[in-house]
Structure 1
Amino acid sequence: MNSSMAPAQYKKPPQLPPKFTATPSSLVEETKKLIERSRSVQDAIVAHVPLEKATFDNVLLPMARDDNKMAIESHIIGFYQAVSTDKSLRDASTDAEKLLDDFGIEASMREDVFNRVDAVLKGKEALEPESQRLLEKDHKSYIRNGLNLPAGPQRDRFKEIKKRLSEISIAFQKNLNEEQGGLWFTPEDLDGVPEDLVSSLKKGEDEHEGKIWLTFKYPDLFPTLKYSNNAETRKRVFVENENKCNQNVPLFREAILLRDEAARLLGYKNHAEFRIEDKMAKTPKTVEDFLGDLRTRLAPGGESEIKKLLELKKQDLKDRGLNDGTDSNYFLWDHRYYDRLMLEKDYSLDHQVIAEYFPLQTTIQGMLKIFEELFGLVFIEVVGKDREDLAEGGKGSDIVWHEDVQLFSVWDDEGEGSGFVGYLYLDLFPRDGKYGHAANFNLQPGYIDENGKRRYPATALVCNFSKPTPKKPSLLKHDEVVTLFHELGHGIHDLVSRTTYSRFHGTNTVRDFVEAPSQMLENWCWTPSQLRSLSKHYSYLSPDYEAAYKESSGSTKKPSEQIPNSIIANLINTKHVNDALFNLRQLHFGLFDMTVHTPASHADVEKLDITSTYNRLRNEISQLDGPEALTGKNDWTWGNGQATFGHLIGGYDAGYYGYLSSQVYSTDMFYSVFKSEPMNGNEGRRYRHTVLEKGGSKEEMQILEDFLGRKPSTEAFYKELGIEK
């Protein structure tokens, strides 16, 4: 609800939101101050605590508290590069993040501090479970950062590698964020692409007179691949999109080589073994068995899906009198197009019509209401004068980073004790220089401070949905509704988490579990009653929209206000259409990730042709043809998809399988607890307190077992995919 109408007890949050008033110079100054403070905490421990006197309270606690304070500032410092419209601020944020990363590497390799942590571990004090976990995880991370290597050339080389990897990761993501590529097309080239999109594109001048500029950003890219009747257009867009960041190709290769070298220095067989050791899976073999098993089970489904799609393609080319000699190939750039055509033909499903029932703002309100009911929360949008009040002495615009951003204060409802929970921000539309996907960013973690007082979290959803126009609000396709639920799932995890240390707050869990809570909430987008309650046809939002709808649809009567049951039934029938192909695509990413991170020797990874591996594996796993099928030369070098694959450089290295493995956990949780009654508030609250609240403060497998009452099983996952064991 809106803050001006909120009940009095929800008016005045006990903690002010952060301010977003940094300048390029203040960001870098602030960062240097944080680093100074942090370094002096570590120096003081070393100066004042002799090894035989080392305890949790005089070694780990001061560092954990400094960590807490550091996180309150540092997450926001790094956030500007994802959302600021000012290039100099984005650059400064990148520079500041590099300083923080370099300092993190220096701190993680301080032998004088490690010796004291080691002494505490050996002292076997009786500690609270979360403090014990902090001690063990910190101790392990020093070892994983090379402190078991003998001081000298080896350790220096390891440190050098860590620094370079951090530089690569920042540069790689920056190249993707700032990517400004696109293609000039004539209107005929874009035949079939929705008029809403085509009319919004930039018009060409001079030598591009009569052409329009199509970018590689999602709101341009996906509709073109889905709707363009011209196969040549789809091919150009697809291939050029795979090549949009070729300056990342050498960076990707260098990262793979350095990771392998670093893992071997530490005595691991390869980077995957190093990465997976502290995840739920524990070993690469567990991951490879899981992915291999899944591939075996999905392959037949993929084959039969392609067979049907190829028949549809043949018929379509015939109907349109096209004889381009490709009717025996099913191409990568065919898939979104014929997948959509099949849904329209066989399931009479029109995603454009469905989108009319999901205007962005009413969908968000509906979604927040679902989360309120399930988890005992209250969301209050902070607007107008209330924003000014929260900006204490500043302007209301100081507490957001862009005028489009919505801010909510989040509270427990009365049943949960009416306490303050934290702040939620929504930044929903594309802008130049903005992070290009959908993601949840923690801005400030929660923790217990040195006076035993709780510090509350702030979290942001950054998405790229189409902007409203005078004739239409922003309308969400069903898959965008799912994305919104998924990212808000991370956001809720971040908000309701209650840990002692910021280190374990919210989504700070192991990577092969972190997606499970958000994936589980996607199930609510496939439940008829929830879909209905979320929906509201946009013509009901205002008289102008109603008039515009009547004009564009040529219909005199208004549609029903909520989405009709018949459309919902059709939509739900399509949940698993071409599902094997979708999952094989995920499997390609996961297996490519494991392939480049498990070479038999360092020499093998040096001679690995990463580009060919990426394209060849995709063809073998997904069974879709690329341009190599047109030349008959089996040339796998036509595109550099790995250079656009931010996950593998941004933390999901040897971890992309986590999307699939956490799908196993999320399906298990949904089936066994919520499927029969998705809006069961008791179970919702139990889930909140047993799973979400714990963050990473407990062994993740234990959290799952506590909630399920047993060990997790893959049965529900395979059942949901229609593959019986």
Structure 2
Amino acid sequence: MAPPQYQKPPQAPPLFTATTQSIAADSKRLIAENKALEDELVKDIKPEDATFANVCLPQARHENEAALEDHILGFYQSVATDAALRDASTAALKEMDESSIESAMREDIFKLVAGVANRKEALDPESQRWLEKVHKSYLRNGLGLPAGEKRDRFKAIKKKLSELSIEFSRTLNEENGGLWFTEEELDSVPKDLVATWPKGEGENAGKVFMSFKYPDLFPTLKYATNSKTRQKVFVANENKCPSNVPLFKEAITLRDEAARLLGYNNHAEFRLEDKMAKVPKTVNDFLGDLRERLAPGGITEIKALLELKKADLESHAKSSDYDGNYYLWDHRYYDRLMLEKNFALDQEKIAEYFPLDSTIRGMLHIFEELFGLVFVEITGEARDKISPTGKGRDIVWHDEVQVFSVWDDEGEGSGFVGYLYLDLFPRPGKYGHAANFNLQPGFISANGTRRYPATALVCNFSKPTPKKPSLLKHDEVVTLFHELGHGIHDLVSRTTFSRFHGTNTVRDFVEAPSQMLENWCWTPSQLRALSKHYSTVSPEYAAAYAEDSKNSAKPSDVIPDDLIDSIVKTKHVNDALFNLRQLHFGIFDMTIHSPASHAEVENLAVSELYNRLRKEISKIDGPEAVDPSSGFAWGNGQSTFGHLMGGYDVGYYGYLSSQVYSTDMFYSVFKADPMNGKEGRRYRHTVLERGGSQDEMQTLKDFLGRAPSTEAFYEELGITKA
């Protein structure tokens, strides 16, 4: 049981008791309340009398309070088990987005905000930033356009883009496709995984169903020795959401039109204006330079992988299958094989030491030591006691969800921090990737009290079986650490206004804090601390391990040094190819959003561009190499690219550019002593607490004591800096 000071949070957790009717009613009420506030402001105040206190503060406070509800209303779309509830959430999102567009284009409110800006009051820094951001947003939402046809067209485009984004996301979440395979076709795919797949009947008798969900998809691509199986899986996965293809094309076309209406040359120019990069040239120069430096390494890595492929086919008496090409569906398989053969990296053996539950506890312990936090899981009767309804089931959206109250440790004052939720396993209709969702932001209420945040990790790890708990591959450990890093950012942020809370930073900085924390997953002492052999979890698992391993020797309780060594040595194996893959996404993003003319984007063959750029940048062959006459129109990978429809448009480069900042922070402050609690707390208070409440470059300078440098980034990648 937790110590007494950590048992009674001062704020109840949110409820997840919505119905289709309540979601519709609540979204309409929030929309009406916002309109009523704006109408009142316009009625009572003239632009020449507008001040931050009488115009902006009421809006900011309403925005704070509304976020306590509207984030959760939209969250149901990603996690609800009931399709009707997901549909209601989708409809509510659409209505609220449309209302937000109407609100953002109210000229009468814009005039009041402009009046405040012209007054040039002496404001505290966060209030000044709120004013500057909001004033600029009105201009970016078309109020710099003359009233009439152009402004009306801009508004129509904004509404349509919102609809397209919501529909695109819903299609991804609802996707439930897959393929039927025989046991022979799945040769070498882990049998305990295949045993959990649905069994076929009728025409599919004797087959099992592999879904496109990550826990099924990735192991098949990594382990299936049958290249035809891997090819079939890869291509089918690229084409799994065909209805999203026209939505994506329409979105990039409308974005370009909207940007040109506002006087920008393209959507990239529009989007980058308020990011750290500022202009497309900065991004294109960075991506182009990195591409040039990585390309030779990528070619070298492919040559080594091709040699491995040839030898592997010969060992299986399949020399005739070798055609000298290295295919997209080869990569996960031969990358895994290289790690095993050349570096003794046995992912299955490593996974035995990372049962999901104990790994999470280990991660939370690291964050406790580093940042001065305490995590208290809320289970059983404690949920009933803490729930506003007296029913513990009402504070979660699914019975598998874990809930933690989060506190400062004694050294930080023992105060309450917020709530952390973990939703870790796949299910029909659930968001299919790994992400952190803010449920309720933190802020300062009108009465001066603190409102505490609630944040959720939504992931899709393999489910436990009677013989094994959920076991994490090392790359899944990294993913979990990364997403939990976003969650910590969300929890410890302390801002006055919700719009700056936590991960609400510019897109080319937001990944840096989580990317920096990934380094702990490559540190021997922390890998050891995170590990626990699954046979030690329960007597049942111990018996199952003994039966399956046919080995009477008891395994080490924690991961052995030789396995740790094999992990650490592989950190940069095939690193050039990994980063070239990221470059493909980033360059594709910049290319589709910076056409020379509107006609160019209207006539753009998006799928062909996506696949051609992948070949040109990554150097890895696709189906076009099998059948050159088919060209590059073999797949629609962009139709599953949720980032570019969900807010990362002209922002995917941020995964690479933010690595510059994350690597600089780690090398400069933590590399010598990753568990330095003094520096961890300084990082918490200097970087994470600030959220987006000040210029992100200033945040970096405050922490580093200087401007960020690319030196550590290039050193880590092992490439020469220009």
Tell me which residue corresponds to 1:22: 18
Q: Distance in 2 between matches of 1:181 and 1:427?
A: 22
Match of 2:462 among 461, 466, 476: 466
- 2:633 corresponds to 1:637: yes
Tell me which residue corresponds to 2:2: 6
Q: Which consecutive segments of 4 or more residues in structure 1 shift more than 2 A?
A: 323-327
Q: Secondary structure at the match of 2:329?
A: coil
Tell me which residue corresponds to 2:346: 350
Q: Is the 8 A contact 2:47 2:114 kept in 1?
A: no
Cα deviation 1:45-84 (Å, max 9, x = unaligned): 0000011110000110000010001100000000001001
Q: Distance in 2 between matches of 1:457 and 1:23?
A: 23
Tell me which residue corresponds to 2:313: 317
Q: Is the 8 A contact 2:422 2:456 kept in 1?
A: yes
- 2:298 corresponds to 1:308: no
Q: Secondary structure at the match of 2:420?
A: strand
Number of positions where the alignment pairs a residue of Structure 1 with one of Structure 2: 721
Name the aligned partner's letter for residue 509 of structure 1. Answer: T
Tell me which residue corresponds to 2:137: 141
- 2:522 corresponds to 1:515: no
Alignment of 1:422-437 (within 5 A): 422-437=418-433
Name the aligned partner's letter for residue 467 of structure 2. Answer: K
Shift of 1:196: 1.2
- 2:177 corresponds to 1:181: yes
Tell me which residue corresponds to 2:334: 338
Q: Distance in 1 between matches of 2:322 and 2:343?
A: 26
Tell me which residue corresponds to 1:199: 195
Shift of 1:321: 1.1
Q: Which runs of 5+ in 1 are unaligned?
A: none
Cα deviation 1:539-591 (Å, max 9, x = unaligned): 11111101100111111011010100111011100000000000000000000
Q: Distance in 2 between matches of 1:81 and 1:375?
A: 33
Name the aligned partner's letter for residue 610 of structure 1. Answer: V
1:433–1:532 distance in 2 versus 1, CA, 3 Å: same
Match of 2:618 among 612, 622, 638: 622
Tell me which residue corresponds to 1:414: 410
Cα deviation 1:230-261 (Å, max 9, x = unaligned): 00000000000000001101000000100000
Q: Which runs of 5+ in 2 are unaligned?
A: none
Tell me which residue corresponds to 2:161: 165
- 2:268 corresponds to 1:265: no
Q: Distance in 2 between matches of 1:441 and 1:383?
A: 21
Name the aligned partner's letter for residue 643 of structure 1. Answer: S
Alignment of 1:461-610 (within 5 A): 461-610=457-606
Alignment of 1:59-78 (within 5 A): 59-78=55-74
- 2:230 corresponds to 1:234: yes
Match of 1:35 among 31, 34, 37: 31
- 2:283 corresponds to 1:287: yes
Q: Distance in 2 between matches of 1:325 and 1:379?
A: 54
Name the aligned partner's letter for residue 156 of structure 1. Answer: D
Q: Is the 8 A contact 1:310 1:327 kept in 2?
A: no
Match of 1:86 among 62, 82, 89: 82
- 2:701 corresponds to 1:697: no
Shift of 1:155: 0.2
Q: Secondary structure at the match of 1:655?
A: coil
Name the aligned partner's letter for residue 67 of structure 1. Answer: E
Cα deviation 1:420-452 (Å, max 9, x = unaligned): 000000000001000000000000000001111
Shift of 1:724: 2.4
Q: Distance in 2 between matches of 1:446 and 1:571?
A: 38
Q: Secondary structure at the match of 2:421?
A: strand
Using structure 2 for the length normalisation, give the TM-score: 0.99
Tell me which residue corresponds to 2:645: 649
Q: Distance in 2 between matches of 1:706 and 1:134?
A: 21
Q: Is the 8 A contact 1:448 1:500 kept in 2?
A: yes
Tell me which residue corresponds to 1:666: 662
- 2:396 corresponds to 1:394: no
Q: Is the 8 A contact 1:45 1:59 kept in 2?
A: yes
Tell me which residue corresponds to 1:277: 273
Shift of 1:631: 1.4
Shift of 1:324: 4.1
Q: Secondary structure at the match of 1:126?
A: coil
Name the aligned partner's letter for residue 629 of structure 1. Answer: A
- 2:274 corresponds to 1:249: no
- 2:443 corresponds to 1:439: no
Name the aligned partner's letter for residue 12 of structure 1. Answer: K
Q: Distance in 1 between matches of 2:510 and 2:184?
A: 45
Shift of 1:493: 0.4
Q: Distance in 1 between matches of 2:278 and 2:148?
A: 30
Tell me which residue corresponds to 1:449: 445
Q: Distance in 2 between matches of 1:101 and 1:394?
A: 33
Using structure 1 for the length normalisation, give the TM-score: 0.99
Q: Distance in 2 between matches of 1:174 and 1:623?
A: 33
Name the aligned partner's letter for residue 120 of structure 1. Answer: V
Shift of 1:197: 1.1
Q: Secondary structure at the match of 2:683?
A: helix
Cα deviation 1:597-635 (Å, max 9, x = unaligned): 000000111111111100000000000000110112261
- 2:54 corresponds to 1:58: yes
Q: Is the 8 A contact 1:376 1:413 kept in 2?
A: yes
Cα deviation 1:112-167 (Å, max 9, x = unaligned): 00000001000000000000000000000000000000000000000000000000
Q: Distance in 1 between matches of 2:389 and 2:600?
A: 61
Q: Distance in 2 between matches of 1:393 and 1:652?
A: 38
- 2:116 corresponds to 1:120: yes
Name the aligned partner's letter for residue 640 of structure 1. Answer: N
Q: Secondary structure at the match of 1:633?
A: helix
Name the aligned partner's letter for residue 431 of structure 1. Answer: R
Shift of 1:384: 1.3
Shift of 1:395: 0.8
Q: Distance in 2 between matches of 1:250 and 1:534?
A: 45
Q: Secondary structure at the match of 1:425?
A: strand
Q: Secondary structure at the match of 2:456?
A: strand
Tell me which residue corresponds to 2:221: 225
Q: Distance in 1 between matches of 2:400 and 2:457?
A: 12
Shift of 1:345: 0.5
Tell me which residue corresponds to 2:362: 366
Q: Secondary structure at the match of 1:333?
A: helix
Shift of 1:392: 3.0
Shift of 1:325: 4.2
Name the aligned partner's letter for residue 525 of structure 2. Answer: S
Q: Is the 8 A contact 1:440 1:491 kept in 2?
A: yes
Q: Distance in 2 between matches of 1:364 and 1:179?
A: 28
Quote the sequence identity (%): 71
Q: Secondary structure at the match of 2:407?
A: strand
RMSD: 0.7
Name the aligned partner's letter for residue 601 of structure 2. Answer: V
Name the aligned partner's letter for residue 649 of structure 1. Answer: M
Q: Distance in 2 between matches of 1:598 and 1:634?
A: 27
Shift of 1:327: 3.2
